[in-house]
Amino acid sequence: MKSKQPFILPFFTIFLVSSLLGITGVWAQSDNNGDRRVTANYFISNTTVIPEPGKILSNYDVIFKNGTISEIGKKLSIPIDAKEIKGDSLFVYPAFIDMGSKYGVSSPDLPEKPKDFDPSNPPSELAGIHPHYSAANHYQLNASMEDEWRKLGFTVAQKIPEGNGMLPGTVALLIYGHPGNSNLLLEKGPLFFRFNTVGGVYPNTKLAIMAKWRDLFQNTLLYREHQVSYADNKSIGRVAIDPVLDALIPLTENKMSLLVESKSELEIRSALKMQEENNFNLILLGVNEGTELIPTLKSKGVGIVLSLGLPEDKFSDSLDESEQGADYDERLERIRKAYNESLRLASHYEEAGIPFAFTSMDVEKEDFFDNLKLMIENGLSKGAALAALTTHPARLLEMEEVMGSITPGKMANMVLMTDSLFSENAKVAMVISDGYLFDYTEKNKKEKEADQVWAYAAKTPVGQSKGTWEFTKKDDKWSGKVSYDNPQGKGTKTAQTKNLRITDESISFSFEVITDDTTMEVIVDGKINENKFEGNMDIKGYNQFTVQAIKKDKPTKKP
Amino acid sequence: MKMKKLLLAGLLIWLAPQVNAQDKNSGDVLIKNATVITITNGTLENTDVMVRKGIITEIGTDLKAPKNTHTVDASDKFLMPGIIDAHSHLALEVINESSSPITAEVKMGDVIDPFDISIYRALAGGVTISHAMHGSANVIGGQNVTLKHRYGTRDPKKLIMEEAPRTIKFALGENPTRVHGRGKNLQPRSRMGVEAVIRNGFEEALQYKAVWEKWNKEKQNKEVNSPPPTYNSRLQTLVDILDGKIIIHCHSYRADEIYMLIQVCRSFGIDKIVFTHANEGFKVAPELAKYTMGASVFADWWAYKFEVYYSTAYNAAILTKNGVVTSINSDSDELIRHLYHEAAKTQRYGGLSEEEALALITINPAKQLGIDKWVGSIEVGKQADLVIFDNHPLSIYAIPQMTLVDGVRYFDRDNDQADQRLKIDPKRFPDPFRLSTGEHKCMHDVDMLFTKNYQN
């Protein structure tokens, strides 16, 4: 028995070591896109948690399991199967909710125009009236697009149905989770309404939209009445199924809200008029003006979703004197005032105590944080801005039980920031969406164009070795990257330079080549003559080769 | 320093309307020593008019104002009732719902644009009420709305004259046949088709009415043996016309089509109808006098399309002399600013008296809109819609000095700012905002087939 042991042990040890290495390998690459995760349980250690606007918990730990937040507390013990996320330099916020996103939703296929098509009386679908459609059926997953928005901190979005008409369909609620999963949270959200028409058919303008809406609402009530009567009295004749009216029934019974796109003060007023005439739950989407209406909206308890889009500054660059016309300064001042009023709109809603949310509908993702900062500079508090992205939309969606704050039992949707939210240098480090970790830390380092790029070639015993050196200067300090042929196979590898020194006449640095069984340090040292470099490459402990390099004219951007 | 000045200027501009607004709210005013053109009760020299809470309470001499009542000295000035325009398209977001030959269900009250600067410009021309109409693309267009020019409000509802009865736009002739017949191959393609559309519409409305009456009765008696009928606001509106609840204002030019509609209305028992434009109205003046609420015409404007070649500047005078309730309208955001000039033309062409000429833009349009109980003349008990002129309003030198609606000053020449816009679009470049004048809008929003020449 004893004699066998020496054999077994080395085998076992090798197996153990290699499997450990294997795991380390996965971890070392970081779970960048959540594709292969070792565990569904995570532990954010010793971090700063903002569980909801206005609260801050320092040196807390957060545990989430299988997509659900399970525990928040101090000095929690790390579960044995949890992956640790070191949170000591991070700020953890509930992830953002977008109350209206148009991205990824395609237009529905409409029926063919009938031969005897009458534009004054078109079939509902061809008139842009298809409330029975759902954005959920027309959402095409575009993982990179989702990632772009997730990278900003959004994990949940209401997808707005496409369609040019007044009733394009119901909104779908999605989570920007793992692309391999079904990420639909709610198939039939609020009914979407807009003051838009298909064009060329009835209804063609806002005039007929208003009239059509009244008729649809009345006829839904009558349709329902027919359904109820028929249940008791079959002699009145069956109900001919009408999918449009069917879709409106929940609205007339206050079981569903009408989400009205309101891009001007007059559209808000029209929506209020509709609500006055036929009482229903109203949410305004994309509000961008109408400060004067705030008291009315508050008293009526209308749900408010403000636009994240802001107007461009059109007045700072003065016009040519010849184009100015009379009273130019006064006019300019009025535009400036109107512009500032746009930036202040959100703060007015905050002052009035209206729990508003935001929609990304009219904003480019590049402007998201900038616009929020502009609103904050114009009076919106950071707490209210966060609430508009978290707790308020959760309430509007009637989803408070599962989202909107970092609370045990809610979905694990969190944003891990490098600094406090909306502060100058705050960046999104990681996003946890549906319990999946999306790590953006590397991507946060701005891919700056290298200041110098050299192409080098070195003669080695096994052939020529080629690659590039990229040197970047920041705050008077040089840093760099070296690419080299993979000594163990195909492709190239890169490494960071160490001890990089660049002068007008010389370059010197070292870097490490890591192979399976060893780490080699390579030292490069040589002289510059205009755009040419000539020197030595010294693989420590092995050999020395000559190396030549040429400085490229234009630094190339890393793909 | 320059920056400070700029800010100060901005502040003043911002403050001015606010100060104004406070003054505006009372509706109490005493106008002293004016030459009062009452329209219905002659012209009164050196007369005072007292207004309390927007209503004319006293007309006389040496009236004493209660404390703190604003007093306007109108010595050497002329006071007349606010001008009423029976055909206008100002302050509307949309004018035509041109997608169907009948769109009786649409309401201009749904698309009022309180930010339209034209309201202020109309006030500057002494106009206190305008009839904001649907366009003329459809045989039966939308329901119009009568607006009081309470400029300064952002709330469309506050511009509506609540007392005014419902009115609706009809249109005959080339416009509807072009839009629907030639444009979309629908009926009407000819004048005969226009009549058929109207008759069929009313017949269908009668059937609709009967169906609902039957069902409501069944429901009342709890003997329902049919499903609820479909609600149709289009047909319901036509029913309301048949029931005399809505006044028709019909775009028309030729005598034959005017007479046609008179016949149609008579056969359906409708007597609330006004013909608008009616350039050949003079040819059927006795019939208009007998069977209608009158005609609303241009002073001297025609020949802008084939069906309106035959006309005359004597039209208004001939109609008036035949006992037709006649008004002169603008159909234009520009013309509306000098309707008093348009009225004066009837003295040159037809020799109307001052009172007859001014009635064309005051009490007569008020009658055609069904609002003469409240406005259109200076009488005790009427709403204080008033305008003060420096000269007689029919003088070519007359300039409105002050315009009041409900006793509230909405235009005051002494306090007229360079920029009277209510709302500024921050997305607009700060180039000079241009006056948009002279654009007639009857065929606005009709995006097919048309050139500017074919609009009215």
- Tell whether A357 and A228 lie within a shared domain: yes
- Tell whether A145 and A229 lie within a shared domain: yes
Contact between chains at A202 and B432 (C-beta distance less than 8 A): no
Domain assignment of residue A486, given as a range? 452-551
Contacts of A315 in chain B (CB under 8 A): 430
Among A388, A391, A414, residue whose Cα is nearest residue A69: A414
- Tell whether B232 and B327 lie within a shared domain: yes
Domain boundary among B341, B374, B407: B374
Contact between chains at B227 and A236 (C-beta distance less than 8 A): yes
Contact between chains at B106 and A210 (C-beta distance less than 8 A): yes
CATH number at residue B341: 3.20.20.140
- Tell whether B288 and B434 lie within a shared domain: no
A450 pLDDT tier (thresholds 50, 70, 90): low
- Tell whether A400 and A458 lie within a shared domain: no
The partner residues of B73 in beta bridges, in order of sequence, read B32
- Tell whether B427 and B356 lie within a shared domain: no
Domain boundary among B306, B341, B374: B374
- Rounded Cα distance, B319 and B359, in Å: 13
Q: Give the lowest-confidence range in A7-16, A351-360, B16-25, B142-151.
A: A7-16
DSSP string, A184-204: EEESS-SEEEES---SSSSS-
Q: How many domains does chain B have?
A: 2
Q: Tell me if A527 is assigned to some domain.
A: yes
B248-272 pLDDT per residue, tens: 999 999 999 999 999 999 999 999 9
- Rounded Cα distance, B286 and A228, in Å: 57
B429: nearest CA in chain A?
A314
CB of B430 less than 8 A from some CB of A: yes
Name residues whose C-beta falls within 8 Å of residue A34's C-beta, 6 or more positions apart in sequence: A178, A436, A437, A438
- Tell whether A393 and A459 lie within a shared domain: no
How far apart are the CA of A67 and the nearest CA of chain B, in angstroms?
44
Contact between chains at B105 and A211 (C-beta distance less than 8 A): yes
Among B339, B104, B99, residue whose Cα is nearest residue B232: B104
What is the pLDDT at residue A488? 65
CB of B134 less than 8 A from some CB of A: yes
Name residues whose C-beta falls within 8 Å of residue B429's C-beta, 6 or more positions apart in sequence: A314, A319
Chain A stretch 166-205, residues whose beta carbon is closer than 8 A to a beta carbon of chain B: 200-205
Q: Tell me if B12 is assigned to some domain.
A: yes
CA–CA distance from B154 to each of A21, A336, B10, B109, B123 (Å)? 71, 20, 21, 14, 17
Q: Tell me if A50 is assigned to some domain.
A: no
> Quick check: A486 pLDDT over 80?
no
Say what the ipTM of the complex is: 0.91
CB of B10 less than 8 A from some CB of A: yes
Q: Tell me if A354 is assigned to some domain.
A: yes
- Tell whether B368 and B428 lie within a shared domain: no
What is the pLDDT at residue A317? 75
Q: Tell me if A349 is assigned to some domain.
A: yes
Q: Is residue B286 classed as helix, strand or coil in its secondary structure?
A: helix
Strands (E), A262-413: 281-287, 303-307, 357-359
What is the pLDDT at residue B451? 35
Of all residues in chain B, the percent with pLDDT exceeding 70 is 89
Greater pLDDT, B436 or A362: A362
CA dihedral defined by B226, B227, B232, B235, rounded to 10 degrees?
0
- Tell whether A390 and A471 lie within a shared domain: no
- Tell whether B445 and B330 lie within a shared domain: no
Residue A182 φ then ψ, to 5°: -80, 120
Q: Tell me if A382 is assigned to some domain.
A: yes
What is the pLDDT at residue B141? 97
Of all residues in chain B, the percent with pLDDT exceeding 90 is 83
Identify the residue whose tokens are 């049919």: B226
Contact between chains at A327 and B418 (C-beta distance less than 8 A): yes
- Rounded Cα distance, B389 and B80, in Å: 8
Identify the residue whose tokens are 């329209």: B39
A7 pLDDT tier (thresholds 50, 70, 90): very low
CB of B7 less than 8 A from some CB of A: yes
What is chain A's mean pLDDT, rounded? 88
Q: Give the lowest-confidence range in A239-248, A396-405, A538-547, B231-240.
A: A538-547
- Tell whether B208 and B297 lie within a shared domain: yes
Q: Tell me if A528 is assigned to some domain.
A: yes
B294-326 pLDDT per residue, tens: 999 999 999 999 999 999 999 999 999 999 999
- Rounded Cα distance, A355 and A182, in Å: 30
- Rounded Cα distance, B325 and B320, in Å: 7
> Quick check: B222 pLDDT over 70?
yes
Mean pLDDT of B392-421: 96
Kindly report the CA angle at A181 between A176 and A183, in degrees rounded to 5? 45
Answer whether the bond into residue A250 is a cis peptide, omega within 30°. no
B449 pLDDT tier (thresholds 50, 70, 90): very low
> Quick check: B437 pLDDT over 90?
no
> Quick check: B206 pLDDT over 80?
yes
Q: Tell me if A237 is assigned to some domain.
A: yes
CA–CA distance from B328 to each of A22, A395, B332, B385 (Å)? 92, 57, 12, 18
Name residues whose C-beta falls within 8 Å of residue A6's C-beta, 6 or more positions apart in sequence: none
B112: nearest CA in chain A?
A266
- Tell whether A294 and A371 lie within a shared domain: yes
> Quick check: B12 pLDDT over 90?
no
Write the residue in B224, B428, B430 that is nearest to A236 by C-beta. Answer: B224
- Rounded Cα distance, B232 and A215, in Å: 6
Contact between chains at A338 and B426 (C-beta distance less than 8 A): yes
- Rounded Cα distance, B116 and A383, in Å: 39
A209: nearest CA in chain B?
B106
Q: Give the lowest-confidence range in A68-72, A178-182, A363-367, B5-9.
A: B5-9
Domain boundary among A406, A440, A473: A406
Contact between chains at B110 and A270 (C-beta distance less than 8 A): yes
> Quick check: A19 pLDDT over 60?
no
The partner residues of A139 in beta bridges, in order of sequence, read A105
B375 pLDDT tier (thresholds 50, 70, 90): very high
B455 pLDDT tier (thresholds 50, 70, 90): very low
Greater pLDDT, B100 or A491: B100
CB of A316 less than 8 A from some CB of B: no
- Rounded Cα distance, B225 and A141, in Å: 51
Among B146, B182, B184, B91, residue whose Cα is nearest residue B422: B91
Mean pLDDT of B9-28: 51
Mean pLDDT of B175-179: 94
- Tell whether A186 and A299 lie within a shared domain: yes
Q: Tokens standing for A388?
A: 């508009």
Write the residue in B94, B107, B428 that is nearest to A335 by C-beta. Answer: B428
How far apart are the CA of A388 and the nearest CA of chain B, in angstroms?
24
What is the pLDDT at residue B423? 92
Q: Tell me if B272 is assigned to some domain.
A: yes
Contact between chains at B156 and A118 (C-beta distance less than 8 A): no
Write the residue in A218, A226, A336 that is nearest to B227 by C-beta. Answer: A226
- Tell whether B11 and B92 lie within a shared domain: no
Q: Tell me if B296 is assigned to some domain.
A: yes
CATH number at residue A526: 2.40.128.120
Characterise A380 by phi-psi region: left (phi > 0), alpha (psi -120 to 50), beta (else): beta
Contact between chains at B134 and A338 (C-beta distance less than 8 A): no
Mean pLDDT of A181-195: 94
Domain assignment of residue B267, given as a range? 83-374
Of all residues in chain A, the percent with pLDDT exceeding 90 is 63
- Tell whether A392 and A482 lie within a shared domain: no
The partner residues of B387 in beta bridges, in order of sequence, read B80, B403
Mean pLDDT of B105-125: 97
- Tell whether A495 and A401 lie within a shared domain: no
Q: Tell me if B292 is assigned to some domain.
A: yes
- Rounded Cα distance, A413 and A177, in Å: 9
- Rounded Cα distance, A136 and A160, in Å: 9
Q: How many domains does chain A have?
A: 2
What is the pLDDT at residue A544? 81
- Tell whether B355 and B255 lie within a shared domain: yes
- Tell whether A324 and A391 lie within a shared domain: yes
What is chain B's mean pLDDT, rounded? 91
Chain A stretch 84-123, residues whose beta carbon is closer than 8 A to a beta carbon of chain B: 118-121
* B191-220 vs B255-267: helix crossing angle, rounded to 10: 20
- pTM of the complete model beyond 0.95: no
Contact between chains at B97 and A205 (C-beta distance less than 8 A): yes
Neighbours of B397 (CB within 10 A): 8
Q: Tell me if B383 is assigned to some domain.
A: no
Contacts of A235 in chain B (CB under 8 A): 225
Q: Tell me if B94 is assigned to some domain.
A: yes
Among B112, B35, B113, B22, residue whose Cα is nearest residue B68: B22
Q: How far is CA B79 from the centre of its chain?
A: 21
What is the pLDDT at residue B15? 42
Which residue type does A59 have?
N
Domain boundary among B344, B374, B404: B374
- Tell whether A511 and A362 lie within a shared domain: no
- Rounded Cα distance, B386 and B78, in Å: 10
Contact between chains at B9 and A225 (C-beta distance less than 8 A): no
Mean pLDDT of A238-249: 97
- Tell whether B431 and B299 lie within a shared domain: no
**Whether B50 contacts B35, CB under 8 Å:** no
- Tell whether B321 and B431 lie within a shared domain: no
CB of B107 less than 8 A from some CB of A: yes
CATH number at residue A208: 3.20.20.140
A439 membership: H or E segment, kind and range? strand A436-439
- Tell whether B321 and B265 lie within a shared domain: yes
Q: Is residue A247 classed as helix, strand or coil in its secondary structure?
A: helix
CB of B60 less than 8 A from some CB of A: no
Contacts of B219 in chain A (CB under 8 A): none
Q: Tell me if B55 is assigned to some domain.
A: no
Q: Tell me if A229 is assigned to some domain.
A: yes
Residue A431 φ then ψ, to 5°: -130, 135
What is the pLDDT at residue B184? 85
- Tell whether A357 and A494 lie within a shared domain: no
Q: Tell me if B27 is assigned to some domain.
A: no
Mean pLDDT of A261-276: 97
Mean pLDDT of B232-261: 98
B88-114 pLDDT per residue, tens: 999 999 999 999 999 999 999 999 999
Mean pLDDT of A376-405: 97
> Quick check: B11 pLDDT over 80?
no
